[in-house]
Amino acid sequence: MSNSFKHICVIGLGYIGLPTAATFAAHGVRVTGVDVNQHAVDMINQGKVHIVEPDLDALVRDVVAQGKLSAQLAPTEADAYIVAVPTPFKDDYQPDLKYIESAAKALAPFLKPGNLVILESTSPVEATEQMSAWLSEARPDLSFPQQKGEDADILVAHCPERVLPGKVLQELISNDRIIGGMTPRCSKAACDLYKIFVKGACIETNARTAEMCKLTENSFRDVNIAFANELSVICDKLDINVWELISLANRHPRVNILQPGPGVGGHCIAVDPWFIVAKTPEQARLIRTAREVNDAKPEWVIDQVKIKIAEFLQANPEKTIKDVTVACYGLAFKPDIDDLRESPALEITKKLAEQGLNILAIEPNICELPKSLPANVKLINVTENGLADIHLILVAHKEFHCISEDLQKKEYLLASVNLKK
């Protein structure tokens, strides 16, 4: 372990911050985690987790029991600070840095010369420089890279994660890490920090390039998913099985089409491309179009449900729209996690419920429904799916794979994801 980093403060204990904090703690560093959510803080201090991620519960339990990880509501003195808070939108998809600003102002009083501050949040280009400016405003007694360059008292860098939900603990360690310092000295310090546990390469660059790299990676994936989603709409029009088509096309040695779905969710792929569009609206034409294609997919799915409902009512003339029950399989933005952020499945479920339908939500990774859903949505176990008339598969959770043969027998079935292995 680097002698420079005996104590780290991680601000934001969500889907990235908590696994990062626990991984540092597991590698011998004392970690203080900070979150504004009292429930999350209490859970972590009990050695429990408030999110679903494979093996994270056992890891947190162990490092808390060893005294290596603790959580609290406010920052404290440390050798390094990692900011891992959300970056939501303002109007018209403009990035909102309010949480980064709040984190910067909260940690600033504790800074001392030689400290390293890392922005790990997915951020628009220049966000790291803006964070450093906020820190400088709060601490005029210290110098920062934008003022003193390599001679600054405080080191600042952007080090984006690039992990897959469901494999976060594994990929935090095994994946290459982009290290973007505001100066080469900042990059070197951040590189030393992450080498505590990263087994992949730590590749040094500048902060702006690191920011753009993360946005580029997710925009590339978004464009590819948009192609698949548009293909699914075309195939429906032409009465072609899109899953079979993609399987056949992917046999070409230089073709790798991704799988279509009900849209794109999560805090990265559904968000990052808009950060590029916001900065360069005239140049980011393909990136904008891909976002629009993926954002339009939920409405297309809803239209398909309406067609199924019409078919059901025609076959059951004694029933009305108020008698129709729709089962929505999955609310998360991807399989086998509980993360509902920017989830198209959640959006579709909500909009169907708002039309007065009886909705049965089947989401095995949550214990209660989000408050954003109307009262006519009921959370049920997958074994109760016989109560539904229309079956809408939105997320390929492993629990649904287990009953895929039974689902295929349902007369009124719509699958926006492929459950066949």
CB 206 within 8 A of CB 182: yes
Calculate Rg over the CA atoms of the chain. 23
- Active-site residue identified among 68, 214, 308, 334: 214
What's phi and psi for 180, nearest 5 deg? -115, 90
Which single residue is written with the structure tokens 């580029």? 216
Domain-located, residue 238: no
Q: Taking residues 29-53, report their average pLDDT.
A: 96
> Pick the residue with more confidence: 362 or 3?
362
Q: 165: pLDDT confidence band, cut at 50, 70 and 90?
A: confident
Mean pLDDT confidence for 338-360? 95
Check pLDDT > 70 for residue 401: yes
Residue 169: CB partners within 8 Å, gap ≥ 6?
19, 22, 23, 53, 54, 55, 56, 59
Q: Indicate if 293 and 208 belong to the same structural domain.
A: no
How high is the mean pLDDT of the chain? 95
Considering the entire predicted model, what is its pTM? 0.91
Give the pLDDT score at 421: 58
Here the contacts of 61-67 (C-beta below 8 Å, separation 24 or greater) are 62/26, 63/22, 63/25, 63/26, 63/31, 66/25, 67/30
Backbone angles phi, psi at 143, to 5 degrees: -105, 150
- Do residues 114 and 259 share a domain? no
Residue 110's pLDDT is what?
Answer: 98
Task: Using alpha carbons, select from 370, 373, 394, 268 the residue that is nearest to residue 15.
Answer: 268
Angle at 415 between CA 409 and CA 418, to 5 degrees: 100
Query: Are 264 and 406 in the same domain?
Result: yes
Q: Are residues 166 and 267 in the same domain?
A: no
The answer on 401 and 331 residing in a single domain is: yes
| Residue 45 banded pLDDT, cuts 50, 70, 90 | very high
CA 191 to chain centre: 24
Residue 199 and residue 268 in one domain: no
Domain assignment present for residue 142? The answer is yes
Phi, psi angles (nearest 5°) of residue 66: -80, -5
Strand partners for 377:
359
Report how far residue 14's alpha carbon sits from residue 338's, in angstroms, rounded to the nearest whole number.
Answer: 12
Same structural domain, 164 and 261 = no
Instruction: Evaluate if residue 420 carries a pLDDT over 80.
Output: no
User: Which of these is catalytic: 9, 159, 202, 268?
Assistant: 268
Same domain, 71 and 192: yes
> Both 42 and 187 in a single domain?
yes
Q: Is residue 236 part of a domain?
A: no
**257 within a domain of the structure (yes/no):** yes
306 classed as catalytic: no
User: What pLDDT is recorded for position 24?
Assistant: 98
Decide if 19 contacts 169 (C-beta within 8 A): yes
**Residue-wise pLDDT tens digits, 202-237:** 999 999 999 999 999 999 999 999 999 999 999 999
pLDDT greater than 80 at residue 275 = yes
Q: Look at residues 221, 228, 226, 225 and name the one whose alpha carbon lies nearest to residue 246.
A: 228
Q: Is the pLDDT of residue 1 over 50?
A: no
**Tokens, residue 150:** 């390599």
Q: What domain range is 324 assigned to? A: 252-415
Last residue of a domain, one of 194, 216, 238: 216
Q: The domain spanning residue 302 has which CATH number? A: 3.40.50.720
Rounded to 10 degrees, the C-alpha dihedral 197/203/207/211 comes to -80
Q: Is 70's pLDDT higher than 90?
A: yes
Q: Is 98 a catalytic residue?
A: no
Question: Do 37 and 155 belong together in one domain?
Answer: yes
In this structure, is residue 227 part of a structural domain? no
Domain boundary residue, one of 193, 216, 239? 216
Residues near 267 by Cβ (< 8 Å), separated by ≥ 6? 15, 86, 122, 341, 342
Contact present, 149 and 206 (Cβ < 8 Å): no
Please write the tens of the pLDDT for every residue from 380-391. Answer: 999 999 999 999
Q: Contact 361/331 with Cβ under 8 angstroms? A: yes
- pLDDT on residue 3: 59
Q: Which two tokens stand for residue 118?
A: 């890392």
In the predicted structure, residue 184 carries a pLDDT above the cut 50: yes
Residue 7's DSSP bridge partners are 30
Q: Is residue 399 part of a domain?
A: yes
Task: Give the C-alpha separation, 85 to 36, whole Å.
Answer: 10
- The residues near 363 (Cβ < 8 Å, ≥ 6 apart) are 330, 331, 332, 338, 379, 395, 397
Q: Which contiguous run of DSSP H or E holds residue 116?
A: strand 116-119
pLDDT tens-digit series, residues 107-162: 999 999 999 999 999 899 999 999 999 999 999 999 999 999 999 999 999 999 98
**Residue 166, pLDDT above cutoff 90:** no
- Asked if residue 91 has pLDDT above 90, the reply is no
Domain-located, residue 241: no
pLDDT at residue 419, rounded to an integer: 84
CB-based contact 330:362 (threshold 8 Å): yes
On the question of pLDDT at 50 being above 80, the answer is yes
pLDDT in tens, 246-269: 999 999 999 999 999 999 998 889
The answer, yes or no, to whether residue 2 has pLDDT greater than 80, is no
Structure confidence at residue 90 (pLDDT): 86
Q: Are residues 174 and 310 in the same domain?
A: no
| Token couple for 3 | 């002698």
Q: Which range has the worst mean pLDDT, 62-71, 83-92, 295-304?
A: 83-92
Would residue 338 count as lying in a domain? yes
pLDDT value of position 404 = 85
| pLDDT band per the 50, 70, 90 thresholds, residue 407 | confident
Choose the final residue of a domain: 216, 244, 279. Answer: 216
Same domain, 287 and 212: no
b/e 330-366 (16+ beta carbons within 10 angstroms → b): bbbbbbbbbbbbbbbbbbbbbbbbeeebbbbbbbbbe
- Counting every residue written for the chain, the total comes to 421
**Domain total for the chain?**
2
Number of other residues whose CB lies within 10 A of the CB of residue 12: 26
Q: What percent of the chain has pLDDT over 70?
A: 99
**Residue environment code for 249-267, b if the CB has 16+ CB neighbours within 10 A, otherwise e:** eeeeeeeebbebbbbbbbb
